[in-house]
């Protein structure tokens, strides 16, 4: 890893902490990637890694997916940015609406954070109210309103509220434990000024935490009862839990949905959509302002069209395959950890799973925090030494992709065996 070490030392001189996003920092230094293909990454030193981070869930179809590369390559020759409308944007919107029937109108943005920020502003503009309810451990982007008791990198780095964040902003964010409908009801009874509730239906930023039976339907019921717009942040869940996201899987219709990650299979694109009466509040027709130079650029839009078309074409093969691989991995890892007498619990759904080093069931932020993160770091480092790359934090999720093969799964389980043995010691 001589080249990566040297590159990290160079990077630290010109990039804060040497990385462009905090979770990318790995002790003692991250590996620097030269290229990727299918299920693999290659670093500057020539090492190959089987990728289970997959762009934090974005690469549902794997790296360098041929259908996407081919359509994007053709578009590159026709131009990269017009900042005036294209027929492509209508095609993409129709595809999103077809897959997510709760969405009647949709606007394309660049990142998940932009999508959730717009969703929240829309909820506030629509209701003319101020407060937002979010759940502990859910991550919706790196900005003040939602960077309160958030998961992902902020949980990993122990930052509950960021320095530089304004109390005046975060005081309008009410935080409720995930999977706790009674606390939600209390919060709604106490606060009359609630503009919206935002939730990751399946929480993928605290490790992986699943909604308990009836939790999501109760959240839907109670938000209707209190007339609070329900925002499903499906930036991770969308296209991953099913082609229609968590809302299709759990049969819940939110008022607003945000998408990102797998929408573009690695290209920079996200979206915010929902009921017509809410979406019509966006300017210039409405008075909720949202804008971006790069929104709807033909490269990202082409990538998203190609991703959705591919997903729709192969869905009958794709989702059962990912679920089967996920189950094989979870069962084997569970057996290995049990054989080594390591206290653990594993949560999984569809193409995602995570192991926590605790005996307790993990159902929320508090129980996720009971996991022994030192053991997780040992697991991560040993997997990496054995050529397997999972996200370097307990508070992230292992993601499968369509590019994974039987051989990848066998190799990975071998590496989990060796690594869990080290965790035990």
Ligand X SMILES: Cc1ncc(COP(=O)(O)O)c(C=O)c1O
- The helix/strand/coil state of 360 is coil
Q: Two tokens at 296?
A: 């709807």
* Catalytic residue check, 261: yes
Instruction: Output the smallest distance, CB 246 to ligand X, in A.
Output: 11
**Alpha-carbon span 152 to 184, nearest angstrom:** 22
The catalytic residue among 29, 49, 56, 139 is 139
Which residues 6+ apart lie within 8 Å of 302 measured at CB?
Answer: 71, 72, 75, 88
Instruction: Output the smallest distance, CB 108 to ligand X, in A.
Output: 13
Instruction: Output the smallest distance, CB 236 to ligand X, in A.
Output: 5
Instruction: Output the smallest distance, CB 124 to ligand X, in A.
Output: 18
Instruction: Output the smallest distance, CB 148 to ligand X, in A.
Output: 14
Q: Which is nearer to ligand X, 61 or 259 (CB)?
A: 259
Residue 321 vs residues 95, 126, 328: alpha-carbon distances, Å? 23, 41, 11
- The helix/strand/coil state of 347 is strand
**Alpha-carbon span 136 to 134, nearest angstrom:** 7
* Number of CB atoms found within 10 A of residue 372's CB: 16
Q: Which is nearer to ligand X, 117 or 184 (CB)?
A: 117
Q: Which is nearer to ligand X, 32 or 399 (CB)?
A: 399
Q: Which is nearer to ligand X, 262 or 336 (CB)?
A: 262
Residue 319 vs residues 37, 202, 414, 416: alpha-carbon distances, Å? 21, 17, 24, 24
Q: Which is nearer to ligand X, 56 or 380 (CB)?
A: 56
Q: Which is nearer to ligand X, 112 or 298 (CB)?
A: 112
Instruction: Output the smallest distance, CB 382 to ligand X, in A.
Output: 25
Instruction: Output the smallest distance, CB 340 to ligand X, in A.
Output: 31
Lookup result for tokens 């606007």: 107
* Catalytic residue check, 139: yes
**Alpha-carbon span 271 to 106, nearest angstrom:** 7
- The helix/strand/coil state of 175 is strand
Q: Which is nearer to ligand X, 200 or 402 (CB)?
A: 200
Rg from Cα positions in the chain:
21
Q: Which is nearer to ligand X, 386 or 393 (CB)?
A: 393
Do residues 34 and 4 touch, judged by C-beta distance below 8 A? Answer: no
Do residues 72 and 299 touch, judged by C-beta distance below 8 A? Answer: yes
Lookup result for tokens 């990650």: 261
User: What does 366-417 look like in DSSP terms, one character per residue?
Assistant: HHHTTS-HHHHHHHHHHHHHTTEE--SSTTS-EE--TT--HHHHHHHHHHHH
Q: Which is nearer to ligand X, 274 or 420 (CB)?
A: 274
The catalytic residue among 129, 131, 248, 261 is 261
Instruction: Output the smallest distance, CB 300 to ligand X, in A.
Output: 12
Residue of 303, 325, 307 whose CA lies nearest to 315: 307
Instruction: Output the smallest distance, CB 332 to ligand X, in A.
Output: 27
- The helix/strand/coil state of 102 is coil
Interacting residues with ligand X (CB under 6 A)? 56, 111-113, 116, 139-141, 152, 200, 205, 233, 235-236, 260, 270
- The helix/strand/coil state of 256 is strand
Residue facing ligand X at closest CB distance: 112
**Alpha-carbon span 9 to 46, nearest angstrom:** 19
In the sheet that 398-399 helps form, which strands lie side by side, from edge to edge? 345-349, 352-356, 398-399
Q: Sign of torsion, CA 169 171 176 182?
A: negative
The catalytic residue among 233, 255, 364, 408 is 233
Distance between the two ends of the chain, CA-based, in angstroms? 25
Lookup result for tokens 């219709």: 253
Annotated catalytic residues are 139, 233, 261
């Amino acid at each position: 890893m001589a080249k990566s070490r040297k590159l990290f030392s160079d990077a630290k001189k010109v990039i804060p902490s040497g990385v462009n996003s905090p979770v990318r920092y790995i002790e003692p230094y991250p590996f620097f990637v030269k290229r990727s293909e299918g299920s693999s990454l290659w670093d500057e030193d020539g090492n190959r890694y089987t990728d289970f981070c997959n762009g934090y869930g974005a690469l549902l179809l794997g790296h360098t997916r041929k259908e996407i590369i081919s359509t994007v390559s053709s578009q590159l020759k026709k131009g990269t940015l017009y900042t005036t409308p294209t027929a492509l944007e209508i095609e993409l919107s129709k595809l999103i609406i077809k897959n997510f029937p709760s969405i009647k109108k949709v606007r394309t943005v660049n990142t998940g954070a932009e999508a959730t920020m717009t969703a929240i502003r829309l909820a506030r503009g629509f209701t003319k109210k101020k407060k937002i309810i979010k759940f502990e451990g859910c991550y919706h982007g790196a900005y003040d309103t939602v960077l309160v008791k958030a998961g992902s990198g902020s949980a990993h780095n122990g930052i509950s509220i960021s320095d530089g964040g304004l109390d005046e902003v975060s005081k309008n964010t009410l935080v409720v434990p995930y999977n706790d409908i009674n606390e939600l009801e209390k919060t709604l009874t106490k606060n009359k000024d609630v503009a919206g509730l935002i939730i990751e239906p399946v929480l993928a930023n605290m490790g992986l935490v699943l909604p308990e039976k009836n939790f999501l339907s109760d959240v839907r019921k109670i938000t209707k009862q209190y007339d609070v717009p329900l925002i499903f942040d499906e930036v991770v869940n969308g296209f991953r839990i099913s082609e229609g996201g968590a809302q299709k899987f759990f049969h819940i219709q939110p008022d607003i949905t945000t998408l990102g990650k797998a929408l573009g299979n690695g290209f920079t694109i996200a979206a915010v959509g929902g009921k017509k009466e809410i979406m019509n509040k966006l300017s210039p027709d409405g008075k909720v302002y949202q804008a971006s130079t790069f929104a709807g650029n033909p490269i990202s839009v082409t990538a998203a069209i190609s991703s959705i078309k591919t997903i729709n074409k192969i869905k009958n093969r794709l989702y059962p395959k990912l679920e089967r691989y996920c189950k094989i991995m979870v069962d084997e890892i569970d057996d290995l950890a049990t054989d080594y007498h390591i206290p653990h619990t594993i949560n999984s759904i569809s193409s995602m799973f995570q192991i926590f080093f605790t005996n307790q069931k993990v159902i929320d932020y508090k129980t996720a925090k009971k996991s022994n993160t030192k053991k997780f770091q040992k697991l991560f480092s040993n997997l990496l030494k054995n050529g397997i790359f999972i996200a370097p934090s307990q508070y992230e999720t292992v993601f499968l992709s369509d590019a994974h093969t039987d051989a990848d799964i066998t190799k990975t389980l071998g590496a989990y065996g060796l690594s869990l043995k080290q965790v035990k010691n």
